[in-house]
Structure 1
Amino acid sequence: MSNFRKLLVWQKAMSLTTKIYESTKLFPKEEIFGLTSQLRRCVISIPSNIAEGFGRDSKNELLRFLNISVSSLFELQTQLEISKNIDFLKEKEFNNLYEDSRELERMLIAFIKKIKESN
Structure 2
Amino acid sequence: MAARHNFRKLTIWKEGIEIVKDTYKTTKIFPKSETYSLCNQMQRCSVSIPSNIAEGTARGTDKHFLQYLETALGSAYEWETQLIIAFEVEYISEATFKHLENKIQKIQGMITRFMEGLKIN
- Structure 1 counterpart of 2:54, which letter? A
Instruction: Name 2:92's counterpart in structure 1.
Output: 89
Normalised by the length of structure 2, the TM-score is 0.95
Residues 39-61 of structure 1 deviation map (CA, whole Å, 9 limit, x = unaligned): 00011000000000011111111
Please give the residue correspondences for 1:70-85 in structure 2 after superposition, counting only pairs within 5 Å. 70-85=73-88
May I ask how many residue pairs the two structures share in their alignment? 118
Q: Distance in 2 between matches of 1:99 and 1:16?
A: 11
Q: Distance in 2 between matches of 1:3 and 1:106?
A: 20
- Structure 1 counterpart of 2:74, which letter? S
Segments of structure 2 that go 5 or more residues without pairing to the other structure are none
Residues 52-94 of structure 1 deviation map (CA, whole Å, 9 limit, x = unaligned): 0011111111000000001000100000000000001110001
Q: Distance in 2 between matches of 1:115 and 1:60?
A: 8
Instruction: Name 2:56's counterpart in structure 1.
Output: 53
Segments of structure 1 that go 5 or more residues without pairing to the other structure are none
Q: Distance in 1 between matches of 2:88 and 2:72?
A: 24
Moved over 4 A (4+): none
Instruction: Name 1:15's counterpart in structure 2.
Output: 18
2:39 pairs, out of 36, 49, 68, with: 36
State the identity %: 35
- The secondary structure found in structure 2 opposite 1:56 is coil
- Structure 1 counterpart of 2:79, which letter? L
The alpha-carbon deviation at position 16 of structure 1 amounts to 1.0
